[in-house]
Amino acid sequence: MKSNTKILISFTTFIISLLTSFFLGEIFYNSIDGTDFYRYFRYIEYFSGTIETPSREQGLFYFWFISNFIEFSQSYYLPDKWEYVYSTSIQLGNFVLYLIGLLGLFLWLSSRGVNKSIIFLTFSVLNFFPPIYGGRLIMKPEILVFCFLPWIFIGIDNYFKNKNKINLILVAPLLSLLVTSKGTIAMMMFFSLLYLYFHEIKKINLKDLLIPVAFFTILSTLLYSENSNINSVSLLSHQELDQYLFKAPISFLLNINFNDLIFNPFRNEHANSLIGITLIDLFGDYFNRYWDHSRSLFLSNRVDLLEFLPNPRRNVGLSLSSIFVLSSIAYTPEKKFKKHQKVYLIGMSVLALTSLGLFGLHFNPDKGDTVKTHYYFYLIAISFTIILVQYLSRRKYITQLVSVILLITIFLFIFGFPKTYDAEYENVLQDKLSVTVGCEVSSLYFDNYFSKETNCLNKKIATCGFYEEFAKPESHPDGYLIFQNDDFFNPINLIDDSGYAVTVNGYAECLNYVEGGYYRNINIYITDRTPRFNSNIFFISILSIIGLAIRNIRKL
């Protein structure tokens, strides 16, 4: 098969996988159920103008970014479906960050000589890779690291290749946004980059660091100051709940409950075992925060397969985790990827030391959730990508395709497919489907499967509702329409971008004004609270990414 044909097939597979993963997440998961959502919802309330300060220690940038997607969704806002609207906004915002990260990862792998066909096939699997997929579903800033980290690799690699310090200057704003977003992210970035580039750092010309370090320091200081002023607390003042004011014993690092790994792989049952939590959580949902959450549509109506296993989906996930860990240690990659294959161990080590109390008291002995794999899923993603690239590169193309399809199928099984669809489940699913961004596409399948028609949410339906029978307007001889009131229609206040308000009393009248650019006057966002330094440094970061992309594309 010709190289161009392979690339085309691989790219098509990637696009189908990418869109399918997004649509399924929208439909089957409610991001409101994500870990710590209501703790961090204060940021959304702050940016909407309803509270004066988030009173949280994390950086503003990620939450401001997501708040923009929520603000843009106000034209589709329905009070009784606010959870669905917010969920789609969160996942769409994360999806944009994910795409930026994928582009960087593509350019970085290409710069290191990886075949484009292999990259697209790897990305096809990565779209459903459980640690990343979970990160795309919830509102937490770790997805931001996946977005920026490949670009940081590109900039640092370019510097060591040509000794041009402009590459380090371009990396500075990306790093500044990351290290001021969350304490664990800052630590993991420091130790990961130190590990990956240790030998190169020893040879660096210190003069080349003066401007990049100064630029990074200035940006980080501005971000830290703005975050602290708005949050009313600093990044370094994380206040733990009483149940987390403990240290883990050394045995926590070594314990393995072999029997329970297979027969009892459930939340809190391995709270005394770092290895147990990690193995179950890597490819699974040990803490029940994603597809195993009690309200998740992923969890409902699963078809039982592999019934010879005591806990099929978690047992399969455990097997994949074991293969991944063993491969990362024993598999022999090309020298240029040797450290990247094991970089996830840096994240795991940082959390292990945290649980032991090295950075203060942050451990709950009843849960052990200090070592959630979510906290370093971006490092797991890098290691998994390298392992899969190495594996696929040594196989024939047909074997590559079969391997990709098999892995995606296994991941979908772990998420909860296949399913049975009874009448109640169909109604719940269709109700969620109608509010998703991908409704027009997804409904083509589900409407045919359910033999029902989904009324996909649009501005007209969100504002005026959906009615098949209503009073039609009458035409006046002078050419304008005379709208009739509808008895069933509750008056709605509409407004346009110029601030002109109108109250409509009928369905046809409402549709007419919406078509003219009016929208519901609900005043969700009444105050512009854009964080000046965070937003400006984000735009600088976009310019940096464009600069890094242009410099690398020329070399492809």
Amino acid 528: pLDDT: 82
Distance of CA 47 to the CA centre of its chain: 20
pLDDT category at 539 given cuts 50, 70, 90 is very high
pLDDT category at 523 given cuts 50, 70, 90 is low
Nearest Cα to 369, choosing from 286, 259, 485? 286
Q: pLDDT at residue 301 above 80?
A: yes
In this structure, of 39-48, 90-99, 329-338, 456-465, the range with the lowest mean pLDDT score is 329-338
Amino acid 76: pLDDT: 73
Nearest Cα to 18, choosing from 111, 96, 107? 96
Amino acid 522: pLDDT: 65
Q: Where are the domains of the chain?
A: 3-235, 242-394, 421-457, 459-520
Nearest Cα to 215, choosing from 182, 171, 250? 171
Q: pLDDT at residue 519 above 90?
A: no
Share of the chain above pLDDT 70, in %: 98
Q: How far apart, in whole angstroms, are the C-alpha atoms of residue 551 and residue 108? A: 12
**When comparing pLDDT for 505 and 551, which is higher?**
505
Q: How far apart, in whole angstroms, are the C-alpha atoms of residue 62 and residue 139? A: 9
pLDDT category at 555 given cuts 50, 70, 90 is low
**When comparing pLDDT for 523 and 164, which is higher?**
164
Amino acid 81: pLDDT: 82
Amino acid 524: pLDDT: 52
C-alpha dist (Å) from residue 405 to 120, 125, 126, 275, 400? 13, 8, 12, 29, 9
Q: How far apart, in whole angstroms, are the C-alpha atoms of residue 77 and residue 337? A: 47
Q: What is the mean pLDDT of the chain?
A: 92
Strand, coil or helix: what is 501? strand
Q: How far apart, in whole angstroms, are the C-alpha atoms of residue 367 and residue 277? A: 10
**C-alpha torsion angle, residues 424, 429, 434, 436 (rounded to 10):** 160
User: In one letter, which amino acid is 73?
Assistant: S
Q: How far apart, in whole angstroms, are the C-alpha atoms of residue 145 and residue 112? A: 21
C-alpha dist (Å) from residue 231 to 43, 166, 182? 9, 33, 13
Nearest Cα to 546, choosing from 107, 62, 61, 65? 107
Q: How far apart, in whole angstroms, are the C-alpha atoms of residue 404 and residue 358? A: 41
Q: How far apart, in whole angstroms, are the C-alpha atoms of residue 41 and residue 89? A: 13
Amino acid 482: pLDDT: 87
Amino acid 205: pLDDT: 85
Q: How far apart, in whole angstroms, are the C-alpha atoms of residue 166 and residue 186? A: 23
Are 370 and 354 a contacting pair, CB within 8 Å? yes
Amino acid 454: pLDDT: 87
Amino acid 141: pLDDT: 96
pLDDT in tens, 197-239: 999 988 888 899 999 999 999 999 999 999 999 999 988 777 7
Amino acid 553: pLDDT: 81
Are 507 and 486 a contacting pair, CB within 8 Å? yes
Kind and range of the H or E run holding 492: strand 492-495
Q: How far apart, in whole angstroms, are the C-alpha atoms of residue 545 and residue 40? A: 28
pLDDT category at 499 given cuts 50, 70, 90 is confident
pLDDT in tens, 147-160: 999 999 999 999 99
pLDDT in tens, 450-482: 888 888 888 888 888 888 889 999 887 777 788
Amino acid 111: pLDDT: 93
Nearest Cα to 153, choosing from 120, 189, 207, 128? 189
Kind and range of the H or E run holding 503: strand 501-504
Amino acid 237: pLDDT: 78
User: In one letter, which amino acid is 468?
Assistant: E
Nearest Cα to 41, choosing from 132, 139, 122, 107? 139
Residue 492: strand pairing partners: 504
Work out the number of other CB atoms within 10 angstroms of the CB of residue 491: 10
Residues 6+ apart with CB under 8 A from 297: 27, 28, 29, 30, 425, 428, 429, 432
**When comparing pLDDT for 539 and 74, which is higher?**
539
